[in-house]
Chains A and B, each alone.
Chain A
């Protein structure tokens, strides 16, 4: 596989469930990102990891818990979510976090919280 992949592509969960989103990049990049895309709202940066270290947490509620075990994999652990958390969750990667590094995006996971 090439580029940035995300699994699952679609997820439906209840508010009491625990689930995880997975992102994998095959580009040899060092930085990975989680973004949230809600209807009628701009894409929102959630988390930034650089060399497996979290460098940005954009005031995200604790019911979202990221994990970056290595530079190629990024997870977003979900628990006790709310219906307003339903959105498209996009993962991205870049060579580094400096401004000149292009971010490559995955296709996203469409999450529905019932």
Chain B
């Protein structure tokens, strides 16, 4: 079965500093990969996704992520964080069986704290 690991439960970054959130997945084939963000009291919003092609994908709010097959990773990055980026970030993988998808498998999330 596929799984997603986000090794950092909490990360604290100063405003204006760069950010990298780690995500590793376990899946035999090339997965469909996603990063979602959840602000307090809100649902999940998609930041970006990777299906195929260019391994560096751009998303909304200045985020990007790089798919590295050799490391089974899909780390999320942002060159300069803003206080409004404080939220919970979830990495997810979708296993596409060809006959229909099975829904998303999520990591446990990384709570991002922004220091002034």
Contact = CB atoms under 8 A, between A and B. Distances in A.
A7 B107 CA distance: 26
Given A4-B43, A90-B43, A43 B90 contact: yes
Interface stretch (B18-26, B45-53, B64-72, B74-82): B45-53
27 contacts: A4-B43, A35-B103, A35-B104, A41-B108, A42-B4, A42-B105, A42-B107, A43-B90, A45-B103, A45-B104, A56-B103, A90-B43, A92-B44, A98-B96, A98-B100, A99-B94, A101-B101, A102-B46, A102-B49, A103-B46, A103-B104, A105-B43, A105-B45, A106-B43, A107-B42, A107-B43, A108-B43
Contacts of B100: 50, 55, 97-98
Contacts, number: 58
B32 interface: yes
Interface residues of B, number: 26
Interface in A29-81: 33, 35, 40-43, 45, 48, 50, 55-56, 58
B106 interface: yes
Contacts of B51: 99-100
B102 interface: yes
For A42, A97, A103, the residue with the greatest tally of chain B CB atoms inside 10 Å of its CB is A42
A107 B32 CA distance: 24
B41 interface: yes
9 cross-chain pairs, A with B, having the tightest CB-CB distances, nearest first: A99-B96, A45-B103, A105-B43, A43-B106, A105-B44, A99-B32, A42-B106, A107-B43, A97-B101
For A35, A99, A107, the residue with the greatest tally of chain B CB atoms inside 10 Å of its CB is A99
Contact of B109 (A42, A56, A105, A106): A42
